[in-house]
Amino acid sequence: MSMFRNLDRRHFLRAGAVSSAVSMSGILGQLAMAAEASKKKPKRSCILLWMNGGPSTIDLWDLKVGHENGGPYQEVNTTAPGLKISEHLPKIAMHGEQLAILRGMTTKEGDHARGTYLMRTGQLPGAAGIQYPSIGSLVSKELGDPKAELPNFLSIAPQRFFAQEAFGPGFLGPVHAPLIVGENQAFNNNQPANMLDESLKVADLSKPKSIDDASAAVRLDLLREMQEDFASGRPGQMAKSHAAAYDRAIRLMQSDGAKIFDLTTEKDMIRDKYGRNLFGQGCLLARRLVEKGVPFVEVSLGNWDTHGQNFEQVKNLSTTLDAAWSSLMDDLKDRGLLETTTIVWMGEFGRTPKINQGKGRDHYPNAWSTVLAGGGIKGGQAIGKTSKDGTTVEERPTTTLDLLATLCMALGIDYEKTNPSNVGRPIRIVDKPCNPITEVVA
């Protein structure tokens, strides 16, 4: 049931005509069904699992068991022969043949702000005054349908305080900005269930309960007249953008798409499987969004900045990650969506192989890991090798641009394509020099 009734007579007449026509004539009904089917044609999607704070990849994907830098964890086998990961990711290990672990990551930015910006845009902040778009905006622009009901880029529970702009659309403009849900809840990873449900909904999506449908409809009509009056005297992009944003917001309020954010319609068993925490439920929401055709969804998991007590914290985070990601992979596979959904797992940098006095690890961009999985990715392998002590990359050093170019290839995006920037210079989706890791691209 739509929350507003559009009082436009023509709209009513048109809607009435179609519904009566469908019931009277089989042809229109078949046409309607064909339209539905074409809408269900598989689209490419990308899910970014963003690990905020610098995840300790040496304790997740590239363990140095037995070495003094190794720490207390053991490795487990995955379903891919020879590929081993942390014992605290047992369910993910069952998806080993889907994972392409890039163990040769080497970047130069060990600062949260700069590292976050670099990994999420491929560039250093402030370079030449250009406002670089985040990878989500770049990808969703290529893969998304501008007329879609839902925005093409969703960001779930981001923690943007390190680098606000790295989560934005930069010079691509606000049309490619993410719709953000669950923000400012990110520190409260374990919340009572109903608060969690509410926090993952689009803020202010429902009209206030104190306003009835009739009033709401009339208000919108009057507002539209004010918007038109204003725009007629002041042509230009600002007034248009205002009216367009209101239109899109109203469409979102009235659409079925908004129901996606209501997780109470999922079975409890499924919700428990993902984990009743912000990240777990966020991944469940990501699956629902991808099912609906949203081309780019990112889900953030924070508190990876383990300068002290690394092993306790990483174990907890691994458990959270394990439940959510494995469930996500299971569900996508069951729905036949895994072939068309590429998943990328990364943070802003890794952590020091040498364990510090507080039993923690500090920032370390010199040698760390990221992971690609799913659509367009040849899993079951690790590319790149670090030294025995984990401090340097010995084989296949991989830069940020290499990773992003590989991701684009997997998604079928031409990373050399350019967009016009805010200073006029055309900017490639992924800058050069970049050497995509073709060995992991299917």
Partner 1 sequence: MSARLRLIAVLALLAIPSTVCAAEPAPKVDPADAIAALIDKHLSADWAARGIKPAAQTDDAEFVRRVYLDLIGRAPKAPESREFLDDDSPNKRALLVEKLLTLPGHAGHFAAVTRAAWLPQTQSNFQLANAGFQFENWLRMRYRDNTPADEVVRKILTVQFNVNSQNPMIRFVQATGTDPDNNTLVGFYQANEARAENLGSAVSRLFVGVRLECAQCHDHPFARYTREQFWEFAAFFAELNPLPANRPNLVGPVQPQSDKNRITIANTEKRVVARFFDGTSPEWTADRTPRQELADWLTHPENSYFAQNAVNRMWAHFFGYGIQDPVDEPGDNNPPSHPQLLEDLGKAFVTAGFDNRALMRGITRSQAYQLSSKMTHPSQSDPRRFAKMNLKGLTPAQLFDSMVAATGHREPGFMRQNQFNFNAQPNNPRSQFLNRFASNEKVTEANTTILQALMLMNGQFITDVTSLEKGEVLGAIVDVPGWETKQRITALFLSTFARNPSPEELEKFTSYVDRGGANNDKKKALADVFWVLLNSPEFLFNH
Interface residues toward partner 1, by CB under 8 A? 111-113, 126-129, 131, 151, 160-165, 173-174, 177, 179-180, 183-184, 202-208, 210-212, 214-215, 217-219, 222-223, 226-227, 230-231, 233-239, 241-246, 248-250, 252-253, 423-424
- Cβ at position 183, least distance to partner 1 in Å: 8
- Cβ at position 377, least distance to partner 1 in Å: 32
Cβ closest to partner 1, residue 93 vs residue 163: 163
- Cβ at position 219, least distance to partner 1 in Å: 5
- Cβ at position 352, least distance to partner 1 in Å: 13
Asked if 360 contacts 306 with a C-beta cutoff of 8 angstroms, the reply is yes
- Cβ at position 146, least distance to partner 1 in Å: 14
b/e code 18-49 from CB counts within 10 Å (16+ = b) = eeeeeeeeeeeeeeeeeeeeeeeeebbbbbbb
Cβ closest to partner 1, residue 169 vs residue 436: 169
- Cβ at position 110, least distance to partner 1 in Å: 9
Alpha carbon distance 387, 178 (integer Å): 39
Cβ closest to partner 1, residue 12 vs residue 161: 161
Cβ closest to partner 1, residue 7 vs residue 33: 7
Q: Half-sphere exposure of 194 toward its Cβ, with a 13 Å CA cutoff?
A: 0
Cβ closest to partner 1, residue 227 vs residue 313: 227
- Cβ at position 419, least distance to partner 1 in Å: 17
- Cβ at position 427, least distance to partner 1 in Å: 13
Cβ closest to partner 1, residue 52 vs residue 370: 52
Report residue 2 as tokens. Answer: 């739509």
Alpha carbon distance 259, 276 (integer Å): 19
Q: Half-sphere exposure of 137 toward its Cβ, with a 13 Å CA cutoff?
A: 24
Cβ closest to partner 1, residue 181 vs residue 441: 181
Write phi, then psi, for 105 (nearest 5 degrees). -60, 130
Cβ closest to partner 1, residue 81 vs residue 208: 208
- Cβ at position 148, least distance to partner 1 in Å: 13
Cβ closest to partner 1, residue 97 vs residue 362: 362
Alpha carbon distance 420, 426 (integer Å): 4
Please give the torsion angle defined by the CA atoms of residues 107, 110, 116 and 120, in that order, rounded to the nearest 10 degrees.
0
Rg, C-alpha atoms of the chain:
23
Cβ closest to partner 1, residue 296 vs residue 345: 296
Beta carbons within 10 angstroms of residue 259's beta carbon: 10
Alpha carbon distance 191, 264 (integer Å): 15
Cβ closest to partner 1, residue 55 vs residue 125: 125
- Cβ at position 170, least distance to partner 1 in Å: 10
- Cβ at position 207, least distance to partner 1 in Å: 5
Q: Describe the crossing of helices 9-24 and 26-39 by its angle, rounded to 10 degrees.
A: 110
- Cβ at position 3, least distance to partner 1 in Å: 10
Cβ closest to partner 1, residue 110 vs residue 379: 110
